[in-house]
Structure 1
Amino acid sequence: MTIAIPDPDPDPDPEEPEGKIASRVIKVTPEIAETFLSRASVNRRLDMGQVRSLADTILRGEWKLTHQGIAFDAAGALLDGQHRLRAIIEANTPVEMLVFDGLPREVFPVLDTGKRRSAADTLLSTGAKYLPLLSSTIRHVILFKTMPNDSWIGNRAQVSNDRILSAYNEDKDRYEEAVKIGRELSKHLFASQTVVAVGFFLTTEVAPAADIDEWIAGLKSGANLDPGDARLTLREVPRDTQKWGSRRRMGIRDQASIYIKAWNAWVDPERNGELRLRRLRKGEKMPMPVEVKFER
């Protein structure tokens, strides 16, 4: 059923706009993208990190047709969309896109100036709690699984909001549990809430037969732990190692590696002798969590 909305101030003789804006949906191929880019006049500086992020979205099949597309002015010059067009070329894959023609050139300064939607904003509709921590946890779990031995900061480490939402929907119970544990355990450890949530998610994911309650209890209290217990060693990592301004500051990737090393030494006592909880050295690979599965 269609409901007509009356004009609150009807004008019997509306003026015709000076220029006519038209829009259409077309499949933009890499070749068409090249042609459109050749019509660029004034554009923002190209951010190759953003281009690669959009290209990855296209290659994963996650591109969606939205109101954000390509815009040309009345003279046919490209006003908006250079990053999306470059991404199509980078991915060498055509996508459907909304194309606007005839925009006044005066609109260029206000294009794409709105607040960018964060991953936490995207998760708002799920009803989950602690959204900034939840989105950060999911993002870094994805980074661990896709680029464990590369930097987790900068343009190459961008993860799309759609990808974060999809990951949450696939395993929401475990992500919510990880956030809860991250909030609790970080009070007793050097690591941030995100790091503990990420470490907890990754380790318990491959260790369904491990005694998780014992692991958590030891980290919380530290009581009655043997001197060589990996949980005690993890508790004793200096708390100032991740703070800004510290000469020994560690990022999330370094902190996560320490959490996983301690976990591995705890579930596999043979690793205790080689346990050294320190930041990753140059060229050192991220440790993978030890699996603990039920015996058949």
Structure 2
Amino acid sequence: MEIVRDELTPAGSRFRLPSEPGIVTVTPEMASDWLSYRNHPKNRPLSKAVSFKYQKDMEAGRWTEETPEGYIFDTDGWIISGQHRMKAQANSNVTLRMWVFPGEPREIFEVVDQGYKRTAAHLLRVPNATSIANGGRHLAALADGDRWGMPRFSKITTPEIVETVHAWPELTWHVTAAHATSVQAGIPAGAHCAMLAQAARAGGERSTDLIQMWLDGVRTGADLAARDPRLHLRRRFHSGPPTGKGARDLTYALIVKAWNAYVAGETITVLRHMSTEVLPRVTGFDFERKSA
């Protein structure tokens, strides 16, 4: 790459900007250079968490030239928008076809990136999208294979959630009933949908009736024996879901433990999960094999 220095190139930058907006092949070296030499001193501080999310999407091939959220520079060659994406690209070592917008007025800096954050639920645009998206986030986190918990849960990106939902149509099969169960019994719908999706995939058509009886019992509590796992699950969430450290893992584990006991025909006297235990697997499903 030719070294060019002119009035639109801050001192030290080796990579020239295009003269007009368009799609440009941007290498990791270019992204790193632009971030190092073109980042305006008034830009907001870099967030490692934000750039890491972008990095995972880039490494997974989710960032393509059809994604118009590119790199924006002002009339002096300084970054207006794009520093987190540049950091992600530099770290991911991925060459991308990116939109580059040079020569934009500096004044737009005050209005870009001020919008309402787009969530996976916004993109899915289906009934009960929030519950489905939350179930997809659980499945994406569980697929990592860390059975001591879901440490990457908060780092799952919006594209990854949408991708997971598309790969798991079972998430939508019982979401209406899971939502009703959340309203009537307090059992979080996202974690519940994630468990039900695995149960459906593990059992195929055979699981339909079993899941329906499970949902009817958990939702209403009608005519359940004192040691029925469904009754214990209802009682455990009667006063609200767990709180504090590990609450998410505990919530999911309690739902799975109750389900596993139910499908095994077992009765229980207490429903609990200790922090020293690994997360239970849904009976019949193994993420490591990616199949039932």
Using the size of structure 2 for normalisation, the TM-score is 0.77
* Percent of aligned pairs sharing the same letter: 25
Question: Partners in 2 of 1:64 and 1:103 — Cα distance?
Answer: 23
What is the match of residue 12 of structure 1? none
Distance 1:248 1:123, change over 3 A: closer
What is the match of residue 17 of structure 1? none
Question: Partners in 2 of 1:64 and 1:288 — Cα distance?
Answer: 35
How big is the shift at 1:102? 1.5
Q: CA RMSD in A?
A: 2.8
What is the match of residue 289 of structure 1? 282
Distance 1:193 1:74, change over 3 A: same
> Given residue 80 of structure 1, which amino acid in structure 2 is its aligned partner?
S
After TM superposition, the structure 1 stretch with the greater mean CA deviation from structure 2, 216-225 or 255-264, is 216-225
In the TM superposition, what are the counterparts of 1:102-117 in structure 2 within 5 Å?
Answer: 102-117=103-118
Is the CA contact 2:236–2:271 (under 8 Å) kept in the aligned structure 1?
A: yes
SS at match of 1:25: strand
SS at match of 2:282: coil
> Given residue 264 of structure 2, which amino acid in structure 1 is its aligned partner?
D
Question: Partners in 2 of 1:288 and 1:60 — Cα distance?
Answer: 26
SS at match of 2:239: helix
Unmatched runs of 5 consecutive residues or more in structure 2: 1-17, 286-292
How big is the shift at 1:57? 0.7
How big is the shift at 1:255? 1.1
1:199-227 Cα deviation digits (max 9, x unpaired)? 22233322334432332333244444443
Question: Partners in 1 of 2:52 and 2:244 — Cα distance?
Answer: 32
What is the match of residue 177 of structure 1? 173
1:246-289 Cα deviation digits (max 9, x unpaired)? x779744321110001111222357x56x7533551x5321111
Could you list the runs of 4 or more consecutive aligned residues of structure 1 that deviate by over 6 angstroms after TM superposition? 247-250
Distance 1:178 1:217, change over 3 A: closer
What is the match of residue 9 of structure 1? none
1:109-161 Cα deviation digits (max 9, x unpaired)? 2221122222122112xxx212222222222222222365233664x2x322x
> Given residue 105 of structure 2, which amino acid in structure 1 is its aligned partner?
P
The answer to whether 1:192 aligns with 2:188 is yes
Is the CA contact 1:57–1:63 (under 8 Å) kept in the aligned structure 2?
A: yes
The answer to whether 1:214 aligns with 2:213 is yes
What is the match of residue 168 of structure 1? 165
Is the CA contact 1:50–1:83 (under 8 Å) kept in the aligned structure 2?
A: yes
SS at match of 1:206: helix
Distance 1:178 1:91, change over 3 A: farther
In the TM superposition, what are the counterparts of 1:10-25 in structure 2 within 5 Å?
Answer: 22-25=20-23
Question: Partners in 2 of 1:248 and 1:58 — Cα distance?
Answer: 33
Question: Partners in 2 of 1:77 and 1:249 — Cα distance?
Answer: 42
Distance 1:238 1:213, change over 3 A: closer
Using the size of structure 1 for normalisation, the TM-score is 0.76
Question: Partners in 1 of 2:60 and 2:153 — Cα distance?
Answer: 21
After TM superposition, the structure 1 stretch with the greater mean CA deviation from structure 2, 114-123 or 206-215, is 206-215
> Given residue 131 of structure 1, which amino acid in structure 2 is its aligned partner?
A
The structure that has the greater radius of gyration is: 1
Distance 1:143 1:75, change over 3 A: same
The answer to whether 1:82 aligns with 2:78 is no
Structure 2 residue corresponding to 1:278, chosen from 248, 272, 278: 272
Distance 1:68 1:180, change over 3 A: same
What is the match of residue 13 of structure 1? none
How big is the shift at 1:194? 2.4
What is the match of residue 31 of structure 2? 33
Question: Partners in 2 of 1:236 and 1:24 — Cα distance?
Answer: 59
